[in-house]
């Protein structure tokens, strides 16, 4: 996701975490502002472009070697290479954030990675190998020449909400929280976190990746990859995708809250 998506995920989580979790996170992040998670949500994207952080670039995705649209699936053993992937990174930083042997600096880094990767793993194209997760699929969107991955990360969320400022993320999160509490997501939200368990981070993150990857077949490329290369994808493709985008952002935020609650409880 782009900054709007990541910051929205973080604001949703801020709304659901327990007060004790809030104190725990604010301590690690040294941030007591009202955007204490959201302000740290895009750090990992800055870091991966630095020389010191280059090692972390593969942690933003898992390249599922499936065959959409006819077959979608994620296989951790098959798809996570030795250099690592989103699933192994989530497991590693879940362990590190509560590792009492590590410095405050390394715990900060671990928490910032988790805030970010629990977002990225819900973006369907972050769970797909084909054409570098859609980065090599050229498309036209609302008159712009760009690529399929980018319109899922950034353009389509911004078409929905009208911008990518922190205030845009805050208002999107507020609407999604209402949808979870008393609206379109109220009956399904509990299922988004079912089975989530920090003691089985690989199993939990593999379930999140598989869930998102299924939308590659059903929603990202239902008619095959070639169908995306002709014509402007706005508005028809946008209309067919945006409900899944919003749903996936909602899941990321709700899961992040539950994950951080478990981590804070385990650290108490």
How many CA atoms does the CB half-sphere of 24 hold within 13 Å? 21
Pick from 86, 88, 152, 89: which is nearest to 125 by CA? 152
Cβ distance to ligand DCM smaller for residue 56 or 204 = 56
Query: Using the rule CB under 6 A, which residue among 119, 124, 133, 253 binds ligand DCM?
Result: 133
Choosing from 24, 40, 43, 45, the catalytic residue is: 45
Helix (H, G, I), strand (E, B) or coil at 139: strand
Q: Which residues contact 238 (CB under 8 A, 6 or more apart)?
A: 141, 156, 159
Q: Of 9-17, 149-157, 249-257, 258-266, which part binds ligand DCM (CB under 6 A)?
A: 149-157
Is the alpha carbon torsion for 225, 227, 229, 232 positive or negative?
A: negative
Rounded to the nearest whole angstrom, what is the least distance from the CB of residue 2 to ligand DCM in the complex? 4
**Site membership for ligand DCM, residue 211 (CB under 6 A):** no
- In Å, what is the CA distance from 126 to each residue of 35, 72, 98, 152, 214? 25, 13, 26, 10, 12
Pick from 263, 264, 253, 259: which is nearest to 15 by CA? 253
Query: Using the rule CB under 6 A, which residue among 7, 66, 109, 261 binds ligand DCM?
Result: 109
Based on the residue annotation, tell me whether 150 is a catalytic residue of this protein.
no
Query: Using the rule CB under 5 A, which residue among 29, 38, 60, 155 binds Zn ion?
Result: 60
The residues that touch ligand DCM, with contacts defined as CB under 6 A, are: 2-4, 42, 45, 57, 60-61, 63, 92, 106, 109, 125-126, 132-133, 135, 149, 153-154, 158, 164
Give the residue numbers annotated as catalytic, written as ranges: 1, 6, 45, 48, 60, 116, 120, 126, 149, 153
């Amino acid at each position: 996701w782009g900054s709007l998506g990541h910051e929205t995920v973080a604001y949703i989580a801020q709304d659901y975490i327990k007060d004790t979790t809030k104190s725990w996170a604010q301590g690690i992040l040294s941030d007591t502002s009202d955007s204490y998670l959201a302000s740290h949500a895009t750090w990992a994207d800055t870091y991966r472009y630095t020389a010191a952080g280059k090692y972390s670039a593969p942690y933003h995705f898992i390249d599922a070697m499936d065959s959409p649209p006819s077959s979608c699936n994620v296989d951790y053993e098959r798809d996570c290479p030795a250099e690592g992937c989103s699933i192994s990174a989530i497991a590693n930083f879940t362990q590190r954030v509560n590792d009492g042997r590590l410095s405050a600096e390394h715990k900060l880094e671990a928490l910032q990675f988790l805030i970010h990767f629990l977002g990225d793993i819900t973006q369907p194209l972050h769970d797909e190998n084909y054409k570098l997760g859609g980065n090599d699929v050229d498309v036209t969107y609302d008159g712009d020449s760009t690529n399929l991955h980018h319109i899922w990360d950034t353009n389509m969320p911004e078409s929905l909400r009208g911008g990518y400022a922190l205030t845009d993320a805050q208002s999107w999160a507020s609407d999604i929280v209402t949808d979870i509490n008393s609206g379109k997501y109220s009956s399904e939200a509990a299922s988004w976190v079912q089975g989530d368990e920090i003691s089985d981070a690989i199993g939990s993150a593999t379930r999140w990746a598989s869930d998102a990857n299924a939308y590659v077949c059903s929603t990202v490329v239902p008619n095959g990859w070639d169908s995306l290369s002709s014509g402007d994808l706005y508005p028809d493709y946008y209309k067919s995708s945006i409900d899944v985008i919003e749903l996936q952002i909602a899941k990321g935020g709700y899961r992040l809250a539950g994950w951080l609650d478990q981590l804070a409880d385990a650290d108490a």
